[in-house]
Amino acid sequence: MAELRESDIIAICNAGAYGYTMSNNYNGRPRPAEVLLLDGKVHLIRKAETLEDLVRNVVDAGI
């Protein structure tokens, strides 16, 4: 495999549970975008999470 560089695109095919439904935000890492390659065309099917997405539902309970 060639050395990867920033902005390179890689595909992890047949990865089983490594999709969005079985993912988590361990150590506060946002989930990456998901794309679908269909008939030679790339379709964005889920946007990448941002840090704002990760803290959106955090409640300041004053503790």
Domain limits at 53?
A: 31-58
Overall domain count for the chain: 1
User: What pLDDT digit, counting tens, does each position of 5-62 carry?
Assistant: 998 888 777 765 567 777 888 788 888 888 888 898 989 999 999 999 988 888 887 8
Does residue 2 lie in a domain region?
Answer: no
In this predicted structure, what is the pLDDT of residue 48? 92
In this predicted structure, what is the pLDDT of residue 2? 85
DSSP secondary-structure letter at 4? P
Does residue 63 lie in a domain region?
Answer: no
The pTM of the full predicted model, rounded to 2 decimals, is 0.60
In this predicted structure, what is the pLDDT of residue 57? 87
Does residue 53 lie in a domain region?
Answer: yes
Residue 3 has pLDDT above 80, yes or no: yes
Extended beta strands in the chain, E state: 34-38, 41-46
Does residue 37 lie in a domain region?
Answer: yes
Does residue 46 lie in a domain region?
Answer: yes
Does residue 43 lie in a domain region?
Answer: yes
CA distance 11 to 16: 13
Does residue 10 lie in a domain region?
Answer: no
Does residue 24 lie in a domain region?
Answer: no
